Structure 1
Amino acid sequence: MSEKSSRRQIMSDTLYLQIDQNVEVHHPHVYLQDVAQLSCSNSKVLNRCRVLPVANLEPGKPGRYVFSVVDLIELIQKKEENLDISALGEASFLVTYREEAVKSKVWTWVKAVIICMATFFGTAFAIMSFNNDVDLTTLFGQIYQQVTGAKSSGFTILEITYSIGIGAGVLFFFNHFGSMKLTQDPTPMQVQMRVYEDDVNTTIIEKVERGKEQ
Structure 2
Amino acid sequence: MTKPLYIRMKQSIRIPPKQMIRVHDVARVTGENRKKQMVEHMILHTVKPEDRNIIVVDSFSIIERILNRFPDSEIEILGPNQCVVHVENQKRKPNVFLVSFIWLLLFVGAAMAIMNFHYDVSMEMVQQKLHFMLTGEEEEYPLWIQVPYSIGLGVGMILFFNHWFQKRFNEEPNPMEVEVFKYQEDIDHYVAIHENKVEQQDENR
Which residue in the other structure is 2:189 paired with?
202
Question: SS at 1:65's partner residue?
Answer: strand
Which residue in the other structure is 1:25 paired with?
15
Structure 2 counterpart of 1:35, which letter?
Answer: V
Question: SS at 1:183's partner residue?
Answer: coil
Gaps of 5+ in 2: 201-205
Structure 1 counterpart of 2:69, which letter?
Answer: K
TM-score by length of 1: 0.78
- State the shift of 1:66 in Å: 2.5
- State the shift of 1:113 in Å: 4.4
In 2, the alpha carbon distance for the partners of 1:108 and 1:45 equals: 49
Contact 2:127 2:142 survives alignment (8 Å): no
Structure 1 counterpart of 2:63, which letter?
Answer: I
Percent of matched pairs sharing the same residue: 22
In 1, the alpha carbon distance for the partners of 2:40 and 2:101 equals: 42
Which residue in the other structure is 2:5 paired with?
15
Q: How does 1:47-196 map to 2 (within 5 A)?
A: 47-59=37-49, 61-99=51-89, 101=90, 103-104=92-93, 107=94, 113=100, 116-196=103-183
Gaps of 5+ in 1: 1-7
* Alignment coverage as a number of residue pairs: 196
Structure 2 counterpart of 1:135, which letter?
Answer: S
Contact 1:25 1:34 survives alignment (8 Å): no
TM-score by length of 2: 0.81
Contact 1:66 1:94 survives alignment (8 Å): yes
Greater relative CO (CA pairs within 8 A, separation 6+): 2
Structure 1 residue runs of 4 or more that deviate by more than 6 Å after TM superposition: none
Q: Which moved more, 1:17-26 or 1:187-196?
A: 17-26
- State the shift of 1:206 in Å: 3.4
- State the shift of 1:54 in Å: 0.8
Question: CA RMSD for the aligned pairs?
Answer: 2.5
Structure 2 counterpart of 1:39, which letter?
Answer: T
Contact 2:55 2:195 survives alignment (8 Å): no
Q: 1:189 to 1:111 in 2, by over 3 A?
A: farther
- State the shift of 1:130 in Å: 0.5
Q: 1:96 to 1:33 in 2, by over 3 A?
A: same
